[in-house]
Amino acid sequence: MIVPDRVIRSKRKTLAVSVDSLGKIIVRAPKSCTDKRIAAFLAEKENWILRHKKRMEEAGVELPSENLDGYRFPILGEFYQIFLTDETRVRWCVEEKKLFLPRSNTEKRLKTWLKENAKLVFERTTYRFAEEMGVEPLSIKIASSRRRWGGCHFNNEIEYTFRLLYAPKEIVDYVVVHELSHILHKDHSKAFWAQVQSVCPDYAKKREWLKSHGALMYIL
């Protein structure tokens, strides 16, 4: 029996079910819809729901508890373990796959460190591909979005969520190419995807990876 994690009732006329980035089952139903009808609807959609939940579980993303000490999370696809210390600065040991963080304001310090490193990585990657593609972004900004990995504004300003830093390098490359392609094509037309494919031939595979790893958005 499928049990929803959340039921949202509104003035809508139909039932709908979705599985979010964390594998939570969300049901949207009319205000007058009974629990019995919802249960029957979920039974009809059971195979679809289980298939999508499995995809989220296979992403292998473990969300942190309130205490970050000992937590393992990816940076550019490589897993590092957090150790809380009495030091006053963040120390990153790449060879040992360890990240040492101050005990005070731990989460705030970690986010600041992630944003600073995301800017370095994304700027370097963006300008490298921009030169290859013959385009010129106005600027590069780092945001905290949980809704999208990147974006290109109409003035050609490129924006990335710092959470993209959790993804493997080849996925970062795809997102960068995607956003730079919007400098040439402001929509998702055939010409746009042809441009993406000319630089990133296996872009479809990388798009699918981002869809199945949406839980990364909720690490911090």
Domains of the chain (ranges; CATH) run 6-58 (no CATH), 106-218 (3.30.2010.10)
CB-count exposure of residue 184 (10 Å: 0-12, 13-18, 19+): middle
Q: Is residue 213 pLDDT above 90, yes or no? A: no
3-state DSSP assignment of residue 6: strand
Mean pLDDT of the chain: 91
Q: Is residue 217 pLDDT above 90, yes or no? A: no
pLDDT bucket at 212, cuts 50 / 70 / 90: confident
Mean pLDDT of 51-70: 75
> What is the CA 99 to chain-centroid distance, rounded?
21
Mean pLDDT of 17-40: 87
The residue with tokens 């699918």 is: 208
Phi, psi of 10 (to 5 degrees): -150, -170
Q: What is the pLDDT of residues 62-107, one digit of tens each?
A: 777 778 899 999 999 899 999 999 988 999 999 999 999 999 889 8
Report the pLDDT value the prediction gives residue 83, as an integer from 0 to 100. Answer: 95
Mean pLDDT of 174-195: 97
Report the pLDDT value the prediction gives residue 219, as an integer from 0 to 100. Answer: 84
pLDDT above 90 as % of the chain = 72
Report the pLDDT value the prediction gives residue 54, as an integer from 0 to 100. Answer: 74
Q: Is residue 22 pLDDT above 80, yes or no? A: no
Report the pLDDT value the prediction gives residue 131, as an integer from 0 to 100. Answer: 97
Report the pLDDT value the prediction gives residue 59, as an integer from 0 to 100. Answer: 67
